[in-house]
Amino acid sequence: MWYKERTKLWHDKNLRNKGLRVGQKVLLFQSRLKLMPGKLKSKWIGPFTIVALRANGAVELKGSDPDSNSFIMNGHRVKIFRDNSELCVVEEIPLRIPTPSPN
């Protein structure tokens, strides 16, 4: 019994909170792509917009078209969509300082 409790605590500690919010854009995992040939095809489709969050972990999604219907999916099948507007500016630091050539 103590092994099972310790294992559950370890797994629960390593779970990550996705931090989903209403109005956020997400990608949906498409599990049917495993049956199709082609290794390099993306398994994520979207982006979709979150309409509502349910208490049991389900997420109500709506497509990018304004006339698309909303549908309910398991929250484990979505991940946050990161577009180009969320990119950070990174400062580039050279590893070697160029030395002037003697002339």
Q: What is the pLDDT tens value at each position of the chain, 103 positions in all?
A: 789 999 998 888 887 778 899 999 999 998 765 555 666 677 889 899 999 999 888 999 999 888 889 999 998 899 999 877 656 677 887 787 777 777 6
Q: Quote the pTM value.
A: 0.63
With respect to residue 89, please indicate whether it lies within any of the assigned structural domains.
no
With respect to residue 7, please indicate whether it lies within any of the assigned structural domains.
no
Domain that holds residue 26: 22-83
Q: Alpha-carbon dihedral of residues 36, 40, 41, 42, nearest 10 degrees? A: 130
Domain CATH number, residue 67:
2.30.30.140
With respect to residue 46, please indicate whether it lies within any of the assigned structural domains.
yes
With respect to residue 29, please indicate whether it lies within any of the assigned structural domains.
yes
Overall domain count for the chain: 1
With respect to residue 3, please indicate whether it lies within any of the assigned structural domains.
no
With respect to residue 51, please indicate whether it lies within any of the assigned structural domains.
yes
Read off the pLDDT of residues 19-46 as tens digits, 9 standing for 90 and up.
899 999 999 998 765 555 666 677 889 8
